[in-house]
Structure 1
């Protein structure tokens, strides 16, 4: 009797595995991902069926339909707020394909402020919030109820009490540890705060398609974007990853309207309403800035193509910092071609893991990169989490995008692409200091590693589609 029951359960599992494999073959975005899921679901449904329920779904039609329907409307609204101005022909010629792909534009006259590490970033953000007169928009992937989180909470409550409208979005999975009491305290004070999810109805199986964006906009005038979330670890206060190395960016000028637009699209999906949208100031700086908002609702794989286009644009130098180096074939091929053009290609990655599987896969890709002539460095003082890219002597990107499949295809991301020699020089100085605190990876790192560690690297790479 027991044998019959067990046999029946196994049969049901295998049938479910086959059905899920059929779903994976039809719906998974890449052939590699479809093959990996299908093979596992057919041969080992006991081990892969439950992970597939959480990670395998590739469609969320409600958000996609609304995103595409409202994108042109939001662009027209943003255009109506902006002063007439256009970037020079050189900027449009070099990066016009990125602007066209994203339905975005370069805005001239931006004032930029490079914010290095958590202390500088949050001092600038809190100073801006404390000066807010009309509206504060806040969006983070992670908000913790710790020292920094409580400071953010109080700053927002103070602004509401001063008569300022405050809207907050946080990712429901990224901030899964955020207690209800934290949110309720903000709501009771008058802060409008919501978790983001691609499905309005709760779905415990939906772990993909997270909103990884970090946006703060104050009075429509000052905007912040970059790699830092709200938590003590981002101030370097939590070993063993401390000190935490990260970078953020403050923007003043018309490009802030595009930060508002990105926030407004997500806010409208969650609430059915639009947040206050305020007119930005005229540009008084020298930078040309494009806000690159990418995500799985786009018709193209915009994040991967964003990196590919920037890599192809490099002629003398391409420096990249990323905590997760798991490039897809297009990005890896672009990096190899840059080496053949004689470009100084460098990649800065961590020397210690925050996610062990991703770290192992990163180590294998680092080895492949070294063999291709790409210089790879491991940052030594602590964990490097910054997402910065420097092209030649005049172009720098700061944002939330990692070089991995999750950013390329599964997460909603945002960054600022800036063309300005003075700002690029600041980024060069910052990255030169980072590389000075790193050691260069050689082929020996992989070749001298124990056999089981090398095996673990190759096994980790099999999970590329969900890393």
Structure 2
């Protein structure tokens, strides 16, 4: 009797595996991912069926439809409000494909401040919030209930008591450890705060399509974007990853309107209402800046194409910093071609892991890159989390985008692409300092690694569609 029950259960599991494999073939975004899921679900459903429930879903039509409609409406509103031309300035024409793809624009006259570590970043952001008079729009992937999180909480509550409208979004999975009393305290104090999810109805099986964006806009005039979340580790206070290396950016000028617009799209999906949208002031800076908001709801794989365009634009130098180096075929091919053009291609990655599977896959891709003539460096003092790209002598990108499949296809990301020699020189100086604390990766790192570690690298790379 027991054996018959077990047999029926095994048959049902295999049948469920076949059905899930059919779903994977029809819905997975890449052929490699579809093949990997289908093979595992048919042959090893006992192992892969549960992970597929959490990671395999790739459709969220309600969000997609509303996202595209809201983007068009917000773009029309921005066009009317800003009264600026849609044409790309001649100094930015190398990146016209990005502007066209994202239906975004390069705004002239931006004043930028490069925030080169967590202490500088949060001092600037908390100070800006404390000076808010009208509204604060804030969005983070991770918010922790620790010393930094409570500092932020108190500043938000103080502004709400002063009559400032405060709107906060956090990712429901990224901030899974955020206790309910933290959120309740903010709500009771007058702060509008909500978790982000691509489905309004709770779905504990939905782990993909996280909102990885980090946005802060104060009074419509000052905007912040970059790689830092809210937590003590981002201040370098949590060994063994400390000191934490990260970068953020402060923006003043019309580009802040596009940060507001990105926040408003996500806020409207979650709440059904629009947050306060204020017209930004014209700044006296010398940089053209485009806000690149990418995500899986876009018609194209915009994040991957964003990187491909930047790489193809490089003629002399291409320096990239990323905590996770798991490039897709298009990005890797573009990097190889840049080497053939004689471009100085350098990639800075961590020497310590925060996610072991991604770290292993990064090591194998680093080996492939070195063999292709790309110079790869490992940052030594602590964990490297910054997401910065420097192109030639005039272009830099600072944002939340990693060089991995999650950023390319599964996460909602945002960054600021800026063209201007003065700002690029600041980024160059920062990156030179970073590279001075790194050692260059050689082929020996992989070749001399123990066999089991090399095997683990190759196994980890099999899962790069979900890393």
Q: TM-score, normalised by structure 2?
A: 0.99
Distance in 1 separating the partners of 2:188 and 2:139: 19
Using the TM superposition, give the Cα deviation of residue 335 of structure 1 relative to its aligned residue in structure 2, in angstroms. 0.1
Q: Secondary structure at the match of 1:428?
A: helix
Using the TM superposition, give the Cα deviation of residue 88 of structure 1 relative to its aligned residue in structure 2, in angstroms. 6.4
Residue in 1 aligned with 2:377? 377
Distance in 2 separating the partners of 1:294 and 1:262: 10
Distance in 2 separating the partners of 1:104 and 1:393: 23
Answer yes or no: is the 8 Å Cα contact 1:86–1:108 preserved in 2: no
Answer yes or no: is the 8 Å Cα contact 1:83–1:282 preserved in 2: no
Distance in 1 separating the partners of 2:221 and 2:262: 15
Residue in 1 aligned with 2:338? 338
Closer, same or farther in 2 for the Cα pair 1:430/1:87, shift >3 Å?
farther
**Are 1:234 and 2:223 an aligned pair?**
no
Residue in 2 aligned with 1:421? 421
Distance in 2 separating the partners of 1:181 and 1:79: 41
Distance in 1 separating the partners of 2:92 and 2:396: 15
Which moves more between the two structures, 66-75 or 44-53? 66-75
Residue in 2 aligned with 1:158? 158
Using the TM superposition, give the Cα deviation of residue 77 of structure 1 relative to its aligned residue in structure 2, in angstroms. 1.1
- Written as runs of structure 1 = structure 2, the 5 A alignment for 1:241-320 is 241-320=241-320
Distance in 2 separating the partners of 1:91 and 1:312: 16
Answer yes or no: is the 8 Å Cα contact 1:86–1:107 preserved in 2: no
Answer yes or no: is the 8 Å Cα contact 2:92–2:419 preserved in 1: no
Answer yes or no: is the 8 Å Cα contact 2:88–2:99 preserved in 1: no
Distance in 1 separating the partners of 2:87 and 2:294: 21
Answer yes or no: is the 8 Å Cα contact 2:88–2:105 preserved in 1: no
Residue in 1 aligned with 2:196? 196
Q: TM-score, normalised by structure 1?
A: 0.99
Deviations 1:113-162 (A, max 9, x none): 00011000000001110110000000000000000000000000010111
Residue in 2 aligned with 1:46? 46
Q: Secondary structure at the match of 2:98?
A: helix
**Are 1:80 and 2:80 an aligned pair?**
yes
Residue in 2 aligned with 1:324? 324
Answer yes or no: is the 8 Å Cα contact 2:88–2:106 preserved in 1: no
Answer yes or no: is the 8 Å Cα contact 2:88–2:96 preserved in 1: no
Distance in 1 separating the partners of 2:87 and 2:370: 37
Q: Secondary structure at the match of 1:264?
A: helix
Distance in 2 separating the partners of 1:423 and 1:210: 31
Residue in 2 aligned with 1:220? 220
Distance in 2 separating the partners of 1:86 and 1:128: 30
Closer, same or farther in 2 for the Cα pair 1:245/1:83, shift >3 Å?
same
Using the TM superposition, give the Cα deviation of residue 83 of structure 1 relative to its aligned residue in structure 2, in angstroms. 4.7
Cα RMSD after superposing both structures: 0.8
Residue in 2 aligned with 1:55? 55
Distance in 2 separating the partners of 1:362 and 1:77: 42
- Written as runs of structure 1 = structure 2, the 5 A alignment for 1:362-373 is 362-373=362-373
Residue in 2 aligned with 1:347? 347
**Are 1:2 and 2:2 an aligned pair?**
yes
Distance in 2 separating the partners of 1:89 and 1:233: 40
Residue in 2 aligned with 1:437? 437
Q: Secondary structure at the match of 1:244?
A: coil
Q: Secondary structure at the match of 2:145?
A: coil
Q: Secondary structure at the match of 1:290?
A: strand
Residue in 2 aligned with 1:174? 174
Using the TM superposition, give the Cα deviation of residue 85 of structure 1 relative to its aligned residue in structure 2, in angstroms. 5.8
- Written as runs of structure 1 = structure 2, the 5 A alignment for 1:6-21 is 6-21=6-21
Using the TM superposition, give the Cα deviation of residue 89 of structure 1 relative to its aligned residue in structure 2, in angstroms. 3.9
Residue in 2 aligned with 1:23? 23
Distance in 2 separating the partners of 1:86 and 1:426: 28
Residue in 2 aligned with 1:391? 391
Q: How many residues align?
A: 467
Distance in 2 separating the partners of 1:111 and 1:87: 21
Using the TM superposition, give the Cα deviation of residue 307 of structure 1 relative to its aligned residue in structure 2, in angstroms. 0.1
Answer yes or no: is the 8 Å Cα contact 2:396–2:419 preserved in 1: yes
Deviations 1:305-362 (A, max 9, x none): 0000000000000000000000000000000000000000000000010000000000
Residue in 2 aligned with 1:148? 148
Distance in 1 separating the partners of 2:231 and 2:20: 38
Structure 2 unaligned blocks of 5 or more: none
Q: Secondary structure at the match of 2:206?
A: coil
Deviations 1:165-203 (A, max 9, x none): 000000000000000000000000000000000000000
Using the TM superposition, give the Cα deviation of residue 27 of structure 1 relative to its aligned residue in structure 2, in angstroms. 0.3
Q: Secondary structure at the match of 1:109?
A: strand
